[in-house]
Every structure is written in C-alpha cells, then in structure tokens.
Amino acid sequence: MDRGTVGSASRGRLHVAIRHHGASAVVTAAGELDHHTADLLRESLEGCVADGYARLVVDCSPLEFMDSTGLNVLLGARLKAEAAGGGVHLAGMQPVVARVFEITGAEAVFTVHDSLDEALAD
C-alpha cells in the first residue's frame, strides 16, 4: 500500500521526501547529507517514529555525499526505531556513501539492501 509522498522538505543541498508503504515509512534523501543539512533528515526520521512508523526504509539511491554527521543521524534514528520495536533499513547506497559505512564498520548495525524494492519486500 503506497500512499504516495506525504511530505517533503528541502534545505540547500538536501531534499527529503517521505511516503508510507504499508507499515514502513520510506524516507528518500537526495543530494548531500552533511553538517549543514543533517537536521532536515534527523527531523524527518524522528517525525516518522513519532507518527508510529517504527520501520524506517531510507532510500539512499539519490544521495550523492554523506559525512560522519549524516552517519550519526542514521545511528540515532536506528536507536529510536529499535526502541519503538522497529529498525532502519538502508537501500540503494551509491559507492561513495557505502564507503562511509565500510570505513566505520557501521554497515554491521544496519540492514542494508541493494535496492528500494528489495527493502520493501523484506
């Protein structure tokens, strides 16, 4: 059940769109996730959990860059989602973004999918 985009926001180099797919909130982050834009994603993810969507699927396919601030946002969202009985699934990471997870070892604490379709089928 895809209810279409239910919200979107943009802050400079980052655009975040949210839609619901069954019990999941699909959060698409497009552009650059860094110190200057991280609050936009943080607020979106926390809002989804507050609205009762503990299963967060983050579509990373249009994400062009992410630094450690972005990683910390995702780690924080993971803790909140798990506390609510869910989790964070990452989908479609570009190599430059996946590298941040590899270097830090953070890939071990997330469920990572090759594509958004795969994440939604899980």
> Read out DSSP for 85-120?
T-EEEEE---HHHHHHHHHHTGGGGSEEESSHHHHH
Going by the DSSP 8-state scheme, the letter that residue 60 receives in this structure is -
Residues listed for the chain: 122
Q: Over the chain, what is the mean pLDDT?
A: 92
Q: What is the mean pLDDT of residues 85-90?
A: 98
Q: What percent of the chain has pLDDT over 70?
A: 90
Q: How far apart are CA 69 and CA 63, in angstroms?
A: 14
How many Cβ atoms are within 10 Å of 44's Cβ, its own excluded? 23
Question: Taking Cα atoms as reference points, which of 94, 29, 96, 38 lies closest to residue 58?
Answer: 29
User: pLDDT tens, 46-77?
Assistant: 999 999 999 999 999 999 999 999 999 999 99
Query: What are the counts of helices (DSSP H) followed by strands (DSSP E) for the chain?
Result: 4, 7
